[in-house]
Every structure is written in C-alpha cells, then in structure tokens.
Amino acid sequence: MDLNRESPRFQAVQQLLNTRLGFDRPQLDPALVSLIQAVREYGAAIASELQFPSSQDEEWRFTDISRLLGVNFQPATFPEETLKIDITPFILPEAANSRLVFVNGVYSPDLSDLSGVNLETVTHLLSGVVPEAKLNPYLGKQPGTQEVFTALNSASLQDGALVWIPANQVVETPIHVLFLSAENGEPALASPRTLVVAGANSSVTLVEQYVTISSCPAAPGITPYFSNAVTEVWLEDNAQVNHTRIQQEGQQSIHISKTAICQNRDSRYTLNGISLGAGLSRHTIDAIQQGEGTQTTLNGLTEITGKQCSDTHSSINHLYPNGSSNQLHKCIVDRNAHAIFNGKVFVPKAAQLTHAQQLNRNLILSDKAKVDTKPQLQITADNVKCSHGATVSQLEEEEVFYLQSRGLSQEASRHLLIDAFANDILSRIPLTSLQTTLAQCLSCRTHF
C-alpha cells in the first residue's frame, strides 16, 4: 500500500499520535527505531483511511461499540511509582522467575522477573537484544493489519513483549506476560503489543494475561479505559506453542484484541482463551496454516454477567493438505449479559485430507441473558472430514433435582453443574495454579 504521507488524514493521525505518545529514544539502535517507526507510519496510514465499524457491518452487527465512541480517551500514562503496585495476586508459581510485566502498555523492569529465563528468549521489543534484521520479517507482517483497531495499535506502537524462541530450543519454564491496566483519573487508551516467534523444532508455553490492578474483574472501577491489544504468533516448521490468554479487565473497561497466528509445516498451536472481564470485549483470532500437517487447537471459555458484552470472532484458514483444527468455545451467560460467537473455517481445494471440528456450547443462567452464535464452514475440497455446531441451553432441572436427591442444596447443585461445564476448558490450561485461581473466580462470579 502507498503510505501517501502527504495525505491530510495521514498527517493528522500521525501528528496526534506523535504529540500525545512521543517517540524520542535516542539511545536505541537506529535500525530498530526505523523499523518501529515504519510500523507506526503504516498503521497511521491505514487508520486515517478507515471508519470505525458499526452495526451495519456484518462482522460487527451484534456488537455495539457506541460506548467506545462516546468517550474521549487519552493515551495512558506510565505510573511513576510502580514499586507500590502489588502484583502478588497475579504471580504464577510455575512462572515466578519468567515474568514480563507491562503497566498501561509500557514495560516495567521493577515488576518483571526474568532471572529464570534466557534474556534472548523473553524480553521487550526495545531491549535491542534481538536485532532489527531478525524482527523485520515478523513485526507487523501478519495478515489482518488493515483492520482499524489493529492499525491503531500499530500506529501507537511504543514497545511490546517479545518472546523469541531460537530453533531447536525447548523452553521448559512457562513464560508469563502480564499487562496491567492502572486507572489514572481520566479515560485512558493503552495499546499492548506481543510478538511471539517460535523457531523450527522449538517449544514454549506462554501465558498472556490482561488484568486491572484492582485484581478483580467484577470490580466496578472508577473511570473507563480502553485496552487495544495485538498479539502476533509465528511458528516455524515443527514448532509447538501452548498459549493461554486470560482477559480480566475491569467492568468499566473496553478490551478489543487481535491474535494472529501463522503456522508453517508440522507446527502445533494451542490457544486456551479465557474471557471474564471488561464491560465490552472482543477477541479476534486469525489462524493461517501455511504448511502441510499443521495442527491448530482453539479452546475458549467466556463467563459474563451484569451488562457485559463479550464477542469472539475466529477464523482458521487451511491452505495445505493434511491439516487439522479443533475448536471448542463455551460461554456462561448470566443476568443481562450478551455473548457473541462467530467462528469460520476455510478449506480450499488445495487443502485435501483436512480434519476440522468446531463447536460452540452456551449455558444461559438468566431469562434476560442473550447469545448470538454463528459457526461457519466454507469447504471446496472434496476429501475432508469437517463438522461444526452450536448449542444454547439452560441448566437441566432433572440434573439439579438428581444432585439434590443426593443431599446437595439447590445452590450447590447448580454450582456443581456450572463448574463441570467450565472445567472442560479450564482443565486444558497447562498451569495448575492458574486452573485453581480461575475456577475460584468463576465460582465467585456465578454465586446465586
């Protein structure tokens, strides 16, 4: 695309971002600065030409983002005294010494602990550990950059988490990337960025977590804030990435995110996506299989209540033969909450012998809760095994009665059934401590 730097709209967006966010880091490698600036300019060019989506757009017709447009968000600032921030509730024992922490999208060395990992494996973009020549083929190169929110993230790129796994390296210790949102008295915009590159024959377990400093996604919050996150994941031949993503933003927040995955031959990618927080959230997942024998697994759990709205849009593109994908997304919807699921699986003619499964299961706990679900398959190959489906149901009174007949109260019986529904996803998270914490959080939020 021609950036057309003379365009008035481009100059307006660029001037706004430069004025408010700044980008003056003379101590950095000039080549790295040039690369990040190029990503910013490209994002600004895209953002200056695009309109915000509305209910008139098919991909957004169930998701009302008017609350986003009605607030004058200012770029989030980095708290001066980060040592006063207590991150104890978020520390994972399995990854206590491999923790990368960002506050309002800015790297915090005071809160991070990388003593248990190689600094060439886990760092931040501006560390300069990984040179520009290596980053250039990956940073901002995923398909889907011409979406308005992805472009805005790129346009405001200042720093980000970098997980770089060299070829033939197996990282035994899980890596924890923690993004904290700190309220500062006015509506704020943060743009977290994560880049994951897994070299050929490598393996890594990654936890990416978005939380509010209040530590509880049910907290009412003081002022609204907007977290606009982008994660790019690249898997080279025969690489393996087990990726757990937790979204626990505050109730006053808006969280819009994009996870883009590009997989080469025989690579294996698993995403365990858990969405609990934010008043309005949307997670877009785009996975592209660019080699034979590729495996993609998407496990998702959304639990919302009150007036929360949570939207999950996914797309899996099978481009080569002998690929497989398995997606299971579950939603627990209470009170006046609204859950949206739109999953697409594309199997073109070249992707023969593809095996793809997709299922969305929804549990409604209130008469006023709402679910919109749309699983989709687009297949032109003739030698494949593919299936998709969706269910929307309430707790079965017969099951509740059976548990009551065994001595449990009605409330305990309902909780047991809800926990069993959620545990199907939580049990797939590779960190036991995180399974326990999330199970407790779910139990608290679905208390009758």
Output the tens digit of pLDDT for each of the chain's 448 residues.
344 555 555 555 555 455 444 445 556 788 998 999 999 999 999 988 888 898 899 999 999 998 888 888 888 887 766 767 889 999 999 999 999 999 998 899 999 999 999 888 999 999 989 999 999 999 999 988 889 999 999 999 989 999 999 999 999 999 999 999 987 778 989 999 999 999 999 999 999 999 998 657 666 666 889 999 999 999 999 999 999 999 999 988 999 999 999 999 999 999 999 999 999 999 999 999 999 999 999 999 999 999 999 999 999 999 999 999 999 999 999 999 999 999 999 999 999 999 999 999 999 999 999 999 999 999 999 999 999 999 999 999 999 999 999 999 999 999 999 999 999 999 999 999 999 999 999 988 876 4
**What is the rounded distance in angstroms from the CA atom of residue 254 to the CA atom of residue 283?**
11
Closest CA to 231 of 340, 298, 152, 140: 140
User: Is 369 exposed, middle or buried (CB count within 10 Å of its CB: 0-12, 13-18, 19+)?
Assistant: buried
**pLDDT score recorded for residue 5:** 53
**Which residue type, as a one-letter code, is found at position 437?**
T
Q: Check residue 51 and give its pLDDT.
A: 86
* Residue-level pLDDT at 2: 40
| Three-state secondary structure readout of 150-164 | HHHHHHCCCCCEEEE
Look up residue 199 and give its two tokens.
């070299």
Helix then strand then coil, % of the chain, to nearest 5: 25, 35, 40
Q: How many CB atoms lie within 10 A of CB 394?
A: 12
Contact 234, 201 (CB under 8 A): no
Amino acid identity, position 85 = I
So what's the pLDDT on residue 443?
Answer: 87
Say how many Å lie between the first and final Cα of the chain, rounded. 54
Q: How far apart are CA 347 and CA 324, in angstroms?
A: 10
Q: Give the Cα separation of 304 and 208 in Å (integer).
A: 20
**Closest listed residue to residue 349, CA positions, set 392, 389, 318, 309:** 318
Which tokens hold the place of 235?
């898997």
Q: Tell me what pLDDT residue 218 has.
A: 63
Indicate the domain borders of the chain.
8-291, 397-447
Q: Give 61: exposed, middle or buried? Use CB within 10 Å, 0-12, 13-18, 19+.
A: middle
Q: If DSSP codes are grouped into helix, strand and coil, which group holds residue 43?
A: helix
Q: Is 148 exposed, middle or buried (0-12, 13-18, 19+ CB in 10 A)?
A: middle
Pairing status of strand 74-75 against strand 106-107:
unpaired
Q: Do the beta carbons of residue 320 and residue 355 sit within 8 Å? A: no
Please list, in sequence order, all residues whose beta carbon lies within 8 angstroms of the beta carbon of residue 242, skipping any fewer than 6 positions away: 204, 205, 206, 270, 272, 430
Q: What's the angle, vertex CA 225, arms to CA 221 and CA 230, rounded to 5?
A: 130
Strand 295-304 with 324-333, pairing = parallel
- Asked if residue 38 lies in contact with residue 51, where contact means CB atoms within 8 angstroms, the answer is no
- The dihedrals phi and psi of 214, each to the nearest 5 degrees, come to -65, -15
CB atoms within 10 A of CB 217: 25
Could you give the CA distance from residue 79 to residue 117 in angstroms, rounded to a whole number?
26
The residue to which tokens 């023969």 are assigned: 352
CB 264 within 8 A of CB 289: no
What pLDDT is recorded for position 111?
94
Where helices occur in 369-446 by DSSP H, the ranges are 397-405, 410-426, 432-445
- Nearest-5° angle of CA 9, CA 195, CA 293? 115
- In the chain, the amino acid numbered 370 is K
